[in-house]
Chain A
């Protein structure tokens, strides 16, 4: 039974391509106005999932509900969704204006109404000055915004973004992702974004679905994913991790059949001993810009720490303390210590 309050519902979605199960019984609910990222490495099925939502692929099993409507068997032209492709897919023979106006022309809208709405949306993405330019005459970031405008002008129930920032350089990527987030919040449009970049997902999303081999490993807020990764896979994928096989007690790794995950920022080094710290030697210090990556050798384990003040030198002897550890058994989080 679909729920009209949900922006998107994927129920038991299964997709087989070339005899291989790409998406395996996937369930996901996105609330109206929420921005959700599908995050995972290449081949985990995130783009396949997005293409099933858009209607370019029909699932073998399962249901796709958009804004309470079952659209599982509808083609992309009949769905209330709009997609922004990885390479923007702007039509090179049309001007920016014509690219954005295209979906409205199909809806047989009047000329004046088309002009009004296209101008409105071009104002929103700050591209009015380029309305008569062709895609080949504007920058990558501007092309990205045209693609976004073309999707937004359709006033879709759900906006789908397929790795929208991957073709931009690092600086522009940060700028455009902030623009997208700002726009999404202002318009309150339900949005699903596919990305393999954890920074992008963490900074832009209300919630993130971390995918692995066609399944969702964990679906939660960025903070929760970082603080309480439910599986070892998520802990490894989101942020950095010291992964040590064994058990954990009294602030140190002990023999055992579990896996201990320690975030480098949860490891501190000091010259003097404090409660819960153990003797450690600094083996290597690697500058990483605004912090240093410090490789420490303790009797129980080798640890990496991220240090931004009082940075030690290689060969220093002192004490290392672990303030938080994640303990996994059979890949699942069993406790935090």
Chain B
């Protein structure tokens, strides 16, 4: 009898302890959730209803100050602000530039990161370690400084042109072109992609590669059929994060890009501050958000695919 009571008491304590821990866990998770709801979720909601013509309430002041404000003309709002942006002669070239830069930069970043990751995974050794360390340097250089340095390096009187002129070669001015933005975004995006992809490739056990070798697979076949599929999720994460980051980038295109067309990150800022057309800038932000969401779907799909493969779902 005494023993039973002791056990029951111990179980009771365990239950109380578990309940306390559960409450503690809830309160520990609450602050970031509240921050996201209050400082991200709510502003997004307010901005969205502003973009479809809800100009009252929290949007009242900005509606009075801003120019070319479209007000709702039906119960759900209006799409006039969206139509105005799409019809604006600046928008489509800006959008095209944003997409081209995003696509090309992401492709180059992923290719370079895969190259580096595969070199480290297959070859290893000191050279690979040094290269890996060097590839992370951009993480520790503020974007604004890197962008300024790149601008100076490739401008009309920059190092490249001066240096090449010594050999009678006229090096093109790259600063203020689309290519300069691509160079800048590669610089800023590469370290994260290398970290993600390298860790993904490193996590593939040696035995899985050796078994493929033993079965007669060439290096390229091992990469294609074993390494890439097994590191697929980190590769997709690197790709989606890189693409979304580049799509919404501001500093690099501001410093290195042309004035017109320019990337949407810069154009949003121009519309908001210089042109005083806040509703259109918000519309552009939502268009970028929609494009980024498309990429995010890829990320979710990759995770579900991986979970299915490993039997988790």
**Does B associate with A?**
yes
Of residues 83 through 112 on chain A, the ones whose CB sits less than 8 Å from some CB of chain B are 83, 85-87, 89, 91-93, 102-103, 106-107
Quick check: A87 and B207 within 8 Å, CB to CB? yes
Quick check: A106 and B221 within 8 Å, CB to CB? yes
Q: Interface residue tally of chain B, by bracket?
A: 20 to 34
- Selected from A78, A83, A85, A93, the residue in CB contact (under 8 A) with B309 is A93
The verdict on A137 contacting chain B, using a C-beta distance below 8 Å, is yes
Quick check: A83 and B214 within 8 Å, CB to CB? yes
The verdict on A82 contacting chain B, using a C-beta distance below 8 Å, is yes
- By beta carbon, the residue of chain B nearest A156 is B214
Give A50-94 as 1s and 0s: 1 = Cβ < 8 Å from B's Cβ atoms: 000011100000000000000000011110011101110101110
CA distance A104 to B208 in the complex (A): 17
Give B198-235 as 1s and 0s: 1 = Cβ < 8 Å from A's Cβ atoms: 00000001011011111111100100011001101000
- Selected from B210, B218, B221, B232, the residue in CB contact (under 8 A) with A85 is B210
Quick check: B211 and A85 within 8 Å, CB to CB? yes
CA distance A154 to B214 in the complex (A): 10
Quick check: A77 and B310 within 8 Å, CB to CB? no
- Selected from A87, A102, A136, A154, the residue in CB contact (under 8 A) with B212 is A102
- B226: chain A residues at CB < 8 Å are 91
- B32: chain A residues at CB < 8 Å are none
- Selected from A83, A106, A134, the residue in CB contact (under 8 A) with B217 is A106
CA distance A82 to B214 in the complex (A): 6
Quick check: A89 and B230 within 8 Å, CB to CB? no
- B214: chain A residues at CB < 8 Å are 54-56, 76-77, 81-83
- B217: chain A residues at CB < 8 Å are 77, 102, 106
Of residues 236 through 293 on chain A, the ones whose CB sits less than 8 Å from some CB of chain B are none
The verdict on B311 contacting chain A, using a C-beta distance below 8 Å, is yes
CA distance A55 to B221 in the complex (A): 18
Least Cβ–Cβ distance between B241 and chain A, in angstroms: 22
Give A308-320 as 1s and 0s: 1 = Cβ < 8 Å from B's Cβ atoms: 0000000000000
Least Cβ–Cβ distance between A250 and chain B, in angstroms: 56
The verdict on A196 contacting chain B, using a C-beta distance below 8 Å, is no
Least Cβ–Cβ distance between A236 and chain B, in angstroms: 32
Interface residues of B (CB under 8 A from A): 205, 207-208, 210-218, 221, 225-226, 229-230, 232, 309-311
14 pairs from A and B in contact (CB 8 Å cutoff): A77-B213, A77-B214, A85-B210, A85-B211, A86-B207, A87-B205, A91-B230, A92-B310, A106-B215, A134-B310, A136-B309, A150-B211, A150-B215, A154-B216
